[in-house]
Every structure is written in C-alpha cells, then in structure tokens.
Structure 1
Amino acid sequence: MSDKTLDLDFDKEHLWHPYTSMHSPLPCYGVLSASGCTLKLEHDRELIDGMSSWWACLFGYNVSELNDAAKNQIDKMAHVMFGGLTHEPAIELGKKLIQITPKELEKVFFCDSGSVSVEVALKMALQYWHAKGSPRSQFLSLRHAYHGDTFGAMSVTDPKGAMHELYHHFLTEQLFAPQPKIAFDDPWDESDLAPIAEMLSKHHANIAAVILEPIVQGAGGMFFYHPEYLKGVRALCDQYNVLLICDEIATGFGRTGKMFACEHAQISPDILCLGKALTGGYLSLAATLCTKHIATTISQGSAGVFMHGPTFMANPLACAIANANIEKLLSAPWLEKVAHISTQLKHYLTPCLTLENVASVRVLGAIGVVQVKQSINVAEVQKHFVEQGVWIRPFGKLIYIMPAYIIDDVSLKKLCDAIFFVVQKLQNSEK
C-alpha cells in the first residue's frame, strides 16, 4: 500500500493547467508513476490511459528501450547548442526521418515542439517566396483546422468558434476553405474540392502555402476526411504553384494505420511537420522537413540563411530517445497492431450507436471517436471515467481515445465499455 500524497491544494492554487480556469479550475488527479498503459494515482488507484498523453506515448510509459537510451546519453551530453556544433543522435535521427518520410523530403530542421514545427514551416514558406523575388503573405488553411497555440500556428487555426477565437483580431488574417464534407470511407465526389479550388484560383498569387492536417482534423473536431481530397489538394497546389504543408504532428508514426497519414493519398508535401510521438512521450522535440528545392532556394536568397534557431534545437538527449523510439516502432509489427486495435475499436464502440444521444462513431487506425449531440461537462465526465478506472479526456461533443500500441484487448475493451457506460449515464441524466 502506498501512502504517498501530492500537495494538490498547492497545485490548484498556483499551477495553471492547459485550457482551464485559475478561478474555478478543472479537477486534477495526481499521478505518482506510470508503466505500460497504466497511470498510478494516490491511494493505490490505477487508471488505464486511453489518451497516450495527447498522442505522444506510442508504447506507453516506462519503456525499457527508451529508458536505456536516456540513461546511455545523459552521461555523455544532455545538451549542446546546435549552432556550429553537431552530434551523433541528431545525425542518426535525421537519417531515420529521411528514411521513413516521403522520399522528396531531404532536409531536416529540428525544433522544440509541434507548434514551433508549424511556425518553422510557415517561415520556410514565406522565406522561400521572398528568396524567389515574389513575396507572398498569406496561407490557405481549412475550417475546423488546428495547428497549435503559438501565434503563427493560431493564425492558420480556424478562428471562428474555436479555441483561439479570442485572439482573432491580433493575428495575421489568413484564408480558410470550407471543411471537406466527404468522410474517409464514403463514396468520393470530386465536387468536394470545388471550394478550395475556387479559392486557389482566385488568390494563388498571394498564397505562400496551403497547410492542412492530412486525413484527420484533430482538435478541430476529430473528422476523418477522404484521401482523394488530399490527393486533389496536392494536384491543385501543383497547378497553381503553391506549396503544400502537411501537419502530421498528431497523425504521424502509424497512428492512422499508415506511417504518415499523407500515405493514404500517396502524396508528398513540400514541407512536413512532426512532433508529439517523435520521442515516445519522453521529451519535447519536433522536426520540420522540406524538399531540397525549398532549402536551396531559401539558402540562395538575400538572407543566405534560414532565420530560425531554437535554443534546444536537436537536443541530444531528446534525439537519442527519438532514435530508440523509431527503432522500436520499425522493429515492432506496428502495422498489424494498429490494424488490430482498429478492428477492436470498431467492435467495442459500435454499441454506442444504440444510444439516443450519440451522433456518430468513427474509427481510423488507432483512433476511436464517439460524438455526442450535446456539449460535454468535462469535469463531470472526467470524474465518471476515473470512477470507471480509465483516463479519457473529452472536449466539446467528442469523447475519443488513441491508446498506446501495446494495449491489450482487455484494457481496450475496458476503455470502450467505460465510454458506453458514461455516455449512457449522461443520456439518462438528461431525461
């Protein structure tokens, strides 16, 4: 029996958690340790984690290979500036990323986090056109897009009715095409591309790049759109001479059933953003990859260099862990495991469709989503899930899970059963 306790009163009074109020903060549950797919709380309570800590922990917690990578690197060098210096973990990680991403992407820029990866991508696109002598100042994004919380990333995140609406008047005004309408498994109709095609036809001369989340729109609504839409956008960008940025921060490293979601459409972007699962949830690290043409054009421009350089760029400790994480992914039968999780999610979540307050159930790869008809009281629903012994964090009208690839069938069923139970409980309380 553990008698450890956390000072949750101090936490509540002084520590500001994401997307919550300091006046009346959402409840926080103290975690003492974590292993596999289990979070160990105070008073010997345990929760099955259905969130992979916001998509990051591909193989769960306390992973021996990643622990060893951290231990082996820490005594050599925890950090060194990347300006004028380099090191083996960064070189090896660069090789791995070039190997597993679309072949046209040959240049790797390391940075701190997913949002910064998007900032880097936007700056690359802007500096590319500046170097060509024909500056362009706008980006074309999608409605219900989400690309991060920093200012450039917020500007290409849908400003209407979304989490960043408050900042709308402080941000650079961008262009937004309607959200794709055709879902991943529905029959394709070319007319779905008409709105974005019209916008590119009208504004392409001032559009530096189209930026989108390939196949899965995440925080904007967990919508899975048709691969032909992505393929069509790639063709339109080529037609109108506009760069394409794919934000794979949430979808990369096998989550959708492909190593990268853009593979569903068999396309390659000009710029690719990676983050989240890159280090298996151990340390913050991200990367922005681009084509040789973009890198060469920027480097031959008037500035002569790309104007960005984070302090913790290519942090050796993070790179060493990322290398071990990718090696574990490539050596594991991840494709089969993700396919199995997908099958189980469809089987276990389908009963939710019998509930009156469920609008839809959708699954892609190791992502399962139950959309209800009314907005969710997060604090109330979170409490119900904890009582069921699971960790699932809903938002808006969405209850979703993206478990670690190591999850067993019993634990996965417990997550899905908890969703059914809680949604049914909500339905009964509304009557």
Structure 2
Amino acid sequence: MTSSVWHPFTQHGLNEPIPQVVRAEGALLHCADGSTLIDAISSWWVTTHGHCHPRIVAAIADQAARLDQVIFAGYTHEPAEAVARGVIDIAPSGLQHVFFSDSGSTAVEVALKMALGYWNVVDSRRVSILVMEHSYHGDTIGTMSVGERGAFNRAYEPLLFDVGTIPFPVAGSEQATLDALAAACAAKPAAFIVEPLVLGAGGMLVYPTWVLREMAAICARHDVLFIADEVMTGWGRTGTLFACEQAGVSPDIMCLAKGITGGAIPLAVTLANGRLFEAHRSTDRARMFFHSSSYTANPIACAAAAANLAIWAEEDVLGRIATLSAAVADRMAALDGAIFANPRQIGTIAAIDLVTDDRGYLSTLGPELRAFFLERGLLLRPLGNTIYVMPPYCTDAGQLTCIFDAIAEAGAHFA
C-alpha cells in the first residue's frame, strides 16, 4: 500500500524503507514487521527517561479524562501553573516568566519576538540579531533566519531576514569568536542567540564553558539580550539539567522544548526575565505581546511536563545521566582512531567523524549509514559522515554495546 504521508527531512525519491513503529518502551522501538530497534538518538533528541514512562503516561491519561483543551488567552489551568512554577524553580536565576508554545521552533520564534518587542516598546531602534556560525534553531521562517544558511533553507532565502554571524569558537581560536562578538555588540544589536556548549544539527560541535560565560558577559556589557536556545541541550543532555548551569550563565531569555515532557508529547516554553515582561505590561493594549497558537499550554501536554518535573525532583536522574555518560565515554575511547576522527562528548551526547572525502549533510554516506544501522536494529541518523549518539537515560550496558559495536563495524565497512 502506498502511503500518503509526506515525511520530514526525507527524500521520498530514494525509496528508502520507512519502518512502521507500533509500540515502544524504555530505549526500544517495536516495529510492525516484528523487528526491534534501539533508539540511540532519543527519537530526534526528545525522549529522556525512556519511551512510555509510566508516570508520564498515567499523568496524560488522567488529565485527558478531566480537561483536554481550553483557550489560554485570558484563561488558565493548574497543569500550566504547576509547570510554570516548577520550571522557574529550577531555571537559572533571574528568569521569572514562562510563555508556553508548541515546539522548539516556536519557542525560538517567541524568543526573537520578545527581544525585538522589548526594544520596540522601550523606543530603541535595535532591530538586528546576532547568531553563531553553524547554528540550527528550527525550521520556521524566523528560526531559519537565525540558523546556518545552506541546504536546509536555500529555497527560502528571499523570506529570511539578515543577521550578523559570529564564527564558531574553534579550539585554539576562541578569542577570535569573542573579539568578533564584542565588535558586533558595539553596534547595538537587539540580541545574540546561541546553542549553549554544543551545536546540534550543525555537526554536534562542542565548545568550552568559559567561552559561553564570556559571550554572556560581553552581551551584558553592551546591553545586548542573551538568548540561550536549550531546546536540545536542556533536560540533562550535557550532564547538568541545563547547559547554562555549567558556565554560571543566567540568560535574558531561555528556550526549552523536547525533553520538557520527557519526550512524550509536544510542548515548549520560552522563559524571560522581569525586564522583558515589564516592558510589555501596560494599560495600553497595543503593547501586549502579540503571539499565541490555538493549543498554547495544552492541559494534557502540561500534565506530562508536570510529571516530568516530578521525576526530576524525586528521582536521581542526574545520577543515571552520570553513569550513562561514563559508559558512553568508555565506548567512545575504544573506537579506532585511524578510521574515526574528532571524537567529542558532553554529557550523554557523543559524536565522531568517519574519515572520508564524502563529507557534509548531503553526502551519499548519510543514507548509506542509516540503512546500515537499521539492518543492525538501531535508530541512528548520522549528519553526513558525523555519527552521533544521544540515547535515553534508561539505555543499559547491553544496548550501548550493540550501538558502539555497530558504529565500529560501520567504520571498518565504509572507511
């Protein structure tokens, strides 16, 4: 039977197999053909504690039976209030207000609108945004504008707005990045947006905590709003609850999504400090923050997020993350240095480059590697010749062995 579904980031003309997943638990996906896959990338970086976590599933079922949806413009409900309180309690200091949305892309769109809206209402002409080279912040028009230009967004170039770009802090050349940021901030842009400590879709590129700390300090000195996109890095992926913690950074705006519900259901939040909120608060209705979606703060999604917050509060999640991170590090160290290059890891995120002339996101190697791993019962989705893992925190030693044995085999096969 031919499917009518148009899948994301999928070239249907290649006729690649598209497995039908029927059930999941923990780190495993069960397919309609009876096969089982180890979800080594947390189903696009969203699943934290494991698929179908009992506490989150129960919270969803309970909430669905009581209140499924209600307009959030001028109305509220306890699941949203609980999530807002809970997130503020664990967020970096200074973040005091929570704006709900539906995905990482929308969380970033909200952040950009908050920043530009702030400068508009305080009567400034600050209208430009600074970004980091190789960044990825989403696939809406605004988020593509602040991401790396290339294959992802070339067709939509006429719609994208101009930004200032800061070079990625390559090891040994970090000062060039800081100098470029200081020079750009002197021109009084509205904001600088960055993925803290690791750039995801740009190739799992890792940079030091001191660079993040200094970038935030430069922005503060020039009164440039600092936006931390923690959509991927949040909820423990880098070894701490939020990546900003490692640098002692309190951003003006922070974006969260993916793991906020444990990966069970879509939800996102954009956190802002009091300065941005107060600039929009007025008796003048024209100064309100003009953003929403029909499902803003959906009660079922918020119930899942509240259950996730309870898991973080009551269980030793960071302990599980530390154990998994150490196990990943051991297996990364065992990979052949003649076949693989540039190993990097932060928390449970690990990446390595297969040595080849066929590089880049659109290399033929990417689909070949995906097929290779699928045949071995793994969900891995390399970024061209960059193979990365980002497993759920429940992944056990045997599953890790399967993952890294297959990566080693792929290296020997494709090198």
Q: What TM-score, normalized by structure 2, do the two folds share?
A: 0.95
Aligned ranges 1:363-378 → 2 under 5 Å: 363-373=345-355, 374-375=358-359, 377-378=365-366
1:352 to 335, 343, 350: 335
1:5-404 matched pairs, under 5 angstroms: 9-11=1-3, 14-159=4-149, 161-182=150-171, 190-201=175-186, 203-204=187-188, 207-300=189-282, 303-356=286-339, 358-373=340-355, 374-375=358-359, 377-404=365-392
Distance 1:352 1:35 in 2: 29
Partner of 1:3: none
Q: Is the 8 A contact 2:174 2:211 kept in 1?
A: no
In the aligned structure 1, how far is the partner of 2:107 from the partner of 2:181? 24
The answer on whether the counterparts of 1:132 and 1:301 sit within 8 Å (CA) in structure 2 is: no
Query: Percent of counterpart pairs with the same letter?
Result: 37
Aligned length: 408
Amino acid at match of 2:9: Y
* CA offset digits 1:385-421 (Å, max 9, x no partner): 1222221111222111111111111111211111111
Are the structure 2 counterparts of residues 351 and 322 from structure 1 closer, same or farther at C-alpha, using a change threshold of 3 Å? Answer: same
User: What amino acid is aligned across from residue 286 of structure 1 in structure 2?
Assistant: A
Deviation at 1:426, TM superposition (A): 0.8
Q: Is the 8 A contact 1:121 1:288 kept in 2?
A: yes
Aligned partners of 1:259, 1:30: CA distance in 2, in Å? 33
The CA deviation string for residues 80-102 of structure 1, in whole angstroms up to 9 with x for no partner, is 11012110100000000000101
1:381, CA displacement in angstroms? 1.4
Residues of 2 paired with 1:196 and 1:56: CA distance?
A: 31
User: Contact (CA 8 Å) 1:158, 1:176: kept in 2 or not?
Assistant: no
Query: RMSD of the TM alignment (CA)?
Result: 1.6
Is the CA contact (8 Å cut-off) linking 1:155 and 1:171 kept in structure 2? yes
In the alignment, the residues of structure 1 paired with residue 81 and residue 260 of structure 2 have an alpha-carbon distance, to the nearest angstrom, of 15
> What code does the residue aligned with 2:310 have?
E
The one-letter code of the counterpart of 2:38 is I
Report SS of the residue matched to 1:359.
strand
Contact 2:99 2:271 in 1 (8 A): yes
Q: Measure how far apart 1:21 and its partner are.
A: 2.2
Q: Is the 8 A contact 2:82 2:306 kept in 1?
A: yes
Per-residue deviation, residues 328-358 of structure 1 (Å, max 9, x unmatched): 12322122211111111111122324343x2
Letter in 1 for 2:323: H
Shift of 1:107: 0.4
Amino acid at match of 1:175: G
Which one-letter code corresponds to 1:298 in the other structure?
H
Q: Indicate if the aligned counterparts of 1:208 and 1:243 stay in contact, CA closer than 8 A.
A: yes
Say whether the 8 Å CA contact 1:56–1:276 is kept in structure 2.
yes
Write out per-residue CA displacement over residues 149-174 of structure 1, whole angstroms, 9 at most, x where no aligned residue. 00010100011x35223322321111
The amino acid across from 1:102 in the alignment is: P
**Taking structure 1 as reference, are residues 242 and 350 closer, same or farther at Cα in structure 2, changes over 3 Å only?**
same
Change (3 A) 1:188 1:51: same
Structure 2 regions of 5+ residues with no counterpart? none
Alpha-carbon distance in structure 2 between the residues aligned to 1:110 and 1:253: 17
CA distance in 2, matches of 1:126, 1:384: 46
Instruction: State TM-score, norm by structure 1.
Output: 0.91
Range with greater deviation from structure 2 (47-56 or 380-389): 380-389
Contact 1:355 1:424 in 2 (8 A): no
Distance across 2 between alignment mates of 1:139 and 1:189: 21
Structure 1, unmatched stretches of 5+, are 1-8
For the residue of structure 2 that corresponds to 1:395, the secondary structure is coil
Cα contact 1:113–1:275 (8 A) shared by 2: yes
Return the letter of the residue paired with 2:122.
K
